[in-house]
Amino acid sequence: MPTNELRMPDINQVMIAGRMTRDPELQSLPAGATLCKFGIAHNKRFKSAQGEDREETIFVDVTAWARQADWCATHLKRGYPVLVTGRLSQDTWDDNQTGAKRTKMYITAHSVQALTWDNAQGDNLAGGGRDDNEPLTKDDIPF
């Protein structure tokens, strides 16, 4: 490779906070590994150019593996606020009906933290014992 070419760093890091859109689905693979799939919704509130309050929601699928998958399946459920860090991944397949190539991007989680207190488990799940209705403060945000 010539030395005058610009090298781009290999960075693939994602951090997103949102509410879980469905209960985690734990799966065991034939080789013994476990994976957990769930979705989150992230809401962004802003003012439009006309000054009206607007909200935009994005939906993201997440996959966690091994011990992280087991933890998610045990401690999380639909509606919980979570903080997910990980990397973007992509699946590619051929559509059975049309034959077209299809792709889907999702997050492969390195870390999943619940941003709430799970009263049923009695565990502090990275939420600092906060009440769900209590507003977040700067100390509650991990970044």
Residue 33 lies in a domain: yes
Residue 129 lies in a domain: no
Residue 137 lies in a domain: no
- Its pTM stands at 0.73
pLDDT at 90: 95
In the chain, the number of structural domains is 1
Residue 1 lies in a domain: no
Q: For residue 69, give the 3-state DSSP assignment.
A: helix
Residue 65 lies in a domain: yes
Query: Among positive and negative, which fits the CA dihedral 93, 98, 100, 105?
Result: negative
Residue in 14, 15, 20, 43 with CA at minimum distance from that of residue 118: 20
Query: What's the pLDDT tens digit per position in 54-91?
Result: 999 999 999 999 999 999 999 999 999 999 999 999 99
Residue 107 lies in a domain: yes
CATH number at residue 86: 2.40.50.140
Residue 23 lies in a domain: yes
Provide the domain limits for residue 68.
Answer: 14-121
Do 115 and 129 touch, CB atoms closer than 8 A? Answer: no
Span 27-37, average pLDDT: 93
pLDDT at 6: 77
Residue 63 lies in a domain: yes
Question: What percent of the chain is predicted at pLDDT more than 90?
Answer: 64
